[in-house]
Chain A
Amino acid sequence: MNHLLNLTKKELRELLTPGAVVSVLVMVFLFMGIGSVAGNAVDEATALSKIGIVNGDPSGHWSEFALDFIYEAYGSNASEYIVMLDTPYGNNEEIMKEMIEKGLNTAYGMGPGFTASINAKTQTTIDEYYIFTNNGLLGSAASAVSPLIIQLISQSISKELISTVTDPSAADFILHPIKDPTMQGSPDTRHTYVKGEVYDGVSPAELSAALMSQTMMVPIVIMMIIMVIGTMVISSMGSEKENKTLETLLTMPVRRTTIVSGKLLAAAIVGLVYGMAYMVGMSFYMGGIMGSVGSIDLQDYGLSLGLTDWILIAVMIFLAIFCALGLCMILGAFTKNYKAAQTMMLPISVLAMIPMFITMFTSWGSLPALMQAFLFAIPFSHPMMVMSNLMFGNMTLVLAGIAYLSVFTLVIIFITVKLYKSDILLTGIGQTKAAKTFKAFGVKRRP
């Protein structure tokens, strides 16, 4: 037989273990799952949403014109999706309250001088009202398209004006009868409701972007820490088994709990050091990117973290590291040697990557209940979500997360110590049912 063919076949047989195949399949399903979650979020963001209208210029020619334009844009859905608000123009806080009452996230308003101003050939404005909820990157899409809508209204007015006005000095006004609110020097016509306060001159899209730059690195850093310490612990267990140093250690006059704790503690310290290094590195990196875009100081919008918040974050990260370590010690107990350790990392990687992707693209509030339950059950989700949860005062979720992580850690450590006291550490899994299941996952037992 052809030698190359022969060798290739043998290599393939070695590489395509059941474990490798399963890991590929898991990856495919993982990305399919993430795709559908992200897809849902996109659908929601781009779906027609209800808007409110505050008309401070009732029966004015140009305000009626703008309204007609919007009604036309909504077509047959207009009556369902366009809500005329009762609160008079000017009382922003009351407008926001009415919006919340009526379940609206976005509203537009025209002031009393809207028609008069256009007739006098001076630029006017359309106010925007937003209720800011923490819905992740995709959740703030609605406010990102608002400038476009206003521009379209402006254009349609300008089309009307062009046939009536002949004065060349008014050209600038005719091209832009309504001011672009995102332009420098525009009046603060954008009003955003954040945690009980109304802020002018900022849109949810801008807040979201600023939030992302602050919180996005957390999931990535957490995932990295988990991968690094996971690999470390599992491969260290693998080599301890390969060299029989573990076997020797287990016959020393020292409690099993001490051996387990020593391993956990050392890896936790390394994990924290890595974590801090990543945090510092990433914040420089992020600062470099975001700083040049011109950033929003979240503190100005009541979205900042106090000392207690940072302590809670630290506690959560620490607990999550312990969970990860515990899980790795358990998986490591089934590892036969250094090489097999690689396969064993798979479940940990999956558990770290799922919440990373979900928390990066969506937020807790925007997920359906089933996904929320799923996310909550994965211990690593909690430190990934904690920052924005604290900013938005979602304390119940934070505390429930800490409680869950504590229980999870205790259970994991209990199981780890149990494992260390059992035969499994040395024998692997015997001829039991569990063994057959594990074998299917490519975990080989030494003959």
Chain B
Amino acid sequence: MRRKNVVPNALAALALIGAAGTASGQHLTAEDISVLAGVCANCHGPDGHSRGAIPGIAGKPYVAQLALLQAFKADSIPDTTVMNRLAKGYSDAELDALARHFSEIGK
């Protein structure tokens, strides 16, 4: 519920983020991305398929997922328990790659 308000804001920022990701020049191979995504499974379930209280992230649309990850990084989602602390550990290019990776996994 709280999150619904955040998405449009973060959507507006997406153009900028895309630019920053490219500008950072960080080159991520498919293997790099699969390694980055490895730890997400520890909480969100294998390949992001969750069975528990933590939301699943497999097949969640790229744009919405990236918006959430950026909002976590900016600490703009009140009452977040842990994703803010984790998202701050990734560059914009990495968050972009992660959002794309999980969005492409079948639900």
Partners in one complex: no
